[in-house]
Structure 1
Amino acid sequence: MLKRRISLATAAAGAALVAVTLTGCGSNAQPIQVNLAASEVLAQAAQKTAEVTSYTVDAVVNVTGSQDDSGKVQGRMLYQSKPQLAVDLTLDTVDMGQRALPGGVRAVLQGDTVYVKVEALKELVGATKPWIKVSLSDMGGSDQVKQTLDQIQQFDLANVTKMVTTSQDVKSVGTETVDGTDATHYSGTFPTDVAVKQLPADEQEQARRGLAELKDVKFDVWVGSDGLPRKLALNGKEQGTTLDATLFFKGFNEPVTIEAPPADQVGEMPKGTTN
């Protein structure tokens, strides 16, 4: 269910990303100090991201495995939490499990209403307008709309940052520039079973599906001097399935413009397509 904060935990590609506290570990004094420092940075980053009211994210997620499990999702999203929750998501590429969406997906969420633009909806549900309006209080729309809502859940800054904080082997590996911003690069792994439990209860099952059979995920995160993540890369492999995801974050707390599509381009979900 989408609530006040969008739970962006994934369905389409398995980029569900996870949560909260970190403890350092090491075999002697030097590694322990390094790991604790890295842990504290990530814990503070998780705290700071919870206070962010707007941002932009660009992401690409690749999953390789069997034909039914392989695919790619690529796109960008604008997010704001004030004065009301709003999201503008554009997925240029949606190709999962041999099911591609020609023309991609566009979704705009404002408050309790989501507007979805998917070319395939015209054929699947007989839509007569470019956009379809769906109330979040009525989540029984077509499978295609449900999948679109799931795909919206990929890009959540707060949940992404939370995930990496369950690592017990994170360490600083240097400084680099990300999109013109100096950032410290941290690397480590996190156990997915522990990480998923840090998410809100109603998001955990979806996150487990997204992470598939991955037991441990390697991550690299680049944190700016303001304590906010600028880039996150995830990689995991288990039983022939590989997850590779990269997300770039920017525009923290900057004004964003998210508008509903023109009324004359919006239709309701055709009757007979809800369950």
Structure 2
Amino acid sequence: MKSSVRVPVGASAAALLLAAGAVGCSGGTDESPEMTPAAAVAKAAKNTEEIDSIRYRMTGRAPEEGRVKAEAQMRIKPTLAMSMKMTALDQGADGTAEIRLVDKAMYIGGGARAAKEMDGKSWIKFDMAAVGAEEELNQLGSASQADKNPATESTFLTGAEDVEKVGTETVDGVKTTHYKGTVTVADLEKSLGDEDKATREKRKKSLEQYEKMGVDTLTMDMWIDGDDRTKQFRMRGEADKGPLDMTITFLGLNEPVEVTAPPAKDTVDLAEMMKEARQG
């Protein structure tokens, strides 16, 4: 096998980032008219605790990667699993990738183009914890970017002091109420002490990705349906390496999600390769 391994890096890196950004969805009409904007946002955030699985679409712009689009499904409970097909539109032929997270291992597939670089194998497996290579895993982008509860980001709007109702809009055929507000990462970090342990850990993990990107302030838009659940949300901010502007639209909630690992014959196990290199 060739010693050089190439996959669509731009798409893969963006997918690792994007896999963390989703919340639940449902259908319906407007929320109760007496509900204040802050109360509506808080109730939608509370309802994310009921989410076991989600199916969603993402479009927008990610730092460094440029324009991206993706569709994904994720099972949160009882065990974590995820599959995502995404394209970094500004990356050309190298911009398409598929990611699967199953059995605590992450697989990145680059299709036929990757197979040309890896003696016919189109998938790379990241399972470095199994061989004690956590540091290398973190340097490569860390599967931890994909194992966060995807409901967490939507709850950030509850920390905004300027939440306001924009109006009523239809999103994918669902009537929703649109809210917006601005939050700072610093204020969100300060508020962690007011949360229970489980919520605090989830929020802390999600905030870390924005810190690493250099995002200080997030402008958020949130579209809530008649079942008091988030149908869509948008997050914008300025990162060290470019703008972040991502819109996530929810297509399914609490549906069965099955994710399988790619065939072993089509997979290069990066952890095993590194283990053999160390022994050599």
Same fold (TM over 0.5): yes
Between 225-234 and 141-150, the greater mean CA deviation after superposition: 141-150
Q: Partners of 1:57 and 1:240 in 2: how far apart?
A: 26
- Ranges in structure 2 where 5+ consecutive residues have no aligned partner: 1-13, 23-32, 193-199
Q: Percent identity?
A: 25
Kindly state the Cα deviation for residue 113 of structure 1 after the two structures are TM-superposed.
1.9
Select the residue among 74, 81, 102 that pairs with 1:79. 74
**How much is the aligned-residue C-alpha RMSD, in angstroms?**
3.9
Q: After superposition, what is the alpha-carbon deviation per residue over 1:70-94, rounded to whole angstroms, capped at 9, x for unaligned?
A: 6233212101123421100112117
Name the structure where helix makes up a greater proportion of residues: 2
Alpha-carbon contact 1:185-1:222 (below 8 Å) kept: yes
Q: How does 1:97-176 map to 2 (within 5 A)?
A: 102-118=94-110, 126=118, 129-135=121-127, 137-138=129-130, 140=134, 146-147=140-141, 149=143, 152=146, 157-176=150-169
Match in the other structure for 1:60: 59
Change (3 A) 1:146 1:73: farther
Letter paired with 1:268: D
The 2-side partners of 1:134 and 1:263 are apart by: 13
| 1:55 Cα deviation from its structure 2 partner | 0.9
| 1:271 pairs with 2:270 | no
1:217 counterpart letter in structure 2: L
CA, structure 1 residues 133+221, in 2 after alignment: closer, same or farther (shift >3 Å)? same
Alignment-mate amino acid for residue 40 of structure 2: V
May I ask how many residue pairs the two structures share in their alignment? 240
Per-residue deviation, 1:17: 6.6
Which amino acid in 1 is paired with 2:179?
Y
Contact 1:16 1:207 in 2 (8 A): no
Residue equivalent to 1:256: 257
**Distance in 2 of aligned mates of 1:101 and 1:193:** 38
Aligned equivalents of 2:254 and 2:50: distance in 1? Answer: 9
Letter in 2 for 1:191: T
**What is the rounded CA distance, in whole Å, between the counterparts of 2:241 and 2:34 in structure 1?**
31
* Cα contact 2:71–2:86 (8 A) shared by 1: yes
TM-superposed deviation, 1:159: 1.8
In structure 2, do the counterparts of structure 1 residues 36 and 78 end up closer, same or farther at CA, with 3 Å as the change threshold?
same
Task: Report the Cα distance in structure 2 between the residues aligned to 1:271 and 1:172, rounded to whole angstroms.
Answer: 53
- SS in structure 2 at match of 1:272: helix
Provide the TM-score with structure 2 as the length reference.
0.69
- Counterpart-to-counterpart distance in 1, 2:167 and 2:218: 20
Residue 224 of structure 1 aligns to which amino acid in structure 2? D
- Among 176, 179, 188, which residue is 1:195 paired with? 188
Unaligned runs of 5+ in 1: 1-9, 19-33
> Once the two structures are superposed, what CA deviation does each residue of 1:166-189 show, in whole Å capped at 9, x if it has no partner?
111101122111111111111111
Higher mean Cα deviation, 249-258 or 165-174?
A: 249-258
Q: Given the superposition, is the C-alpha separation of residues 14 and 59 from structure 1 closer, same or farther in structure 2, using an over 3 Å criterion?
A: closer
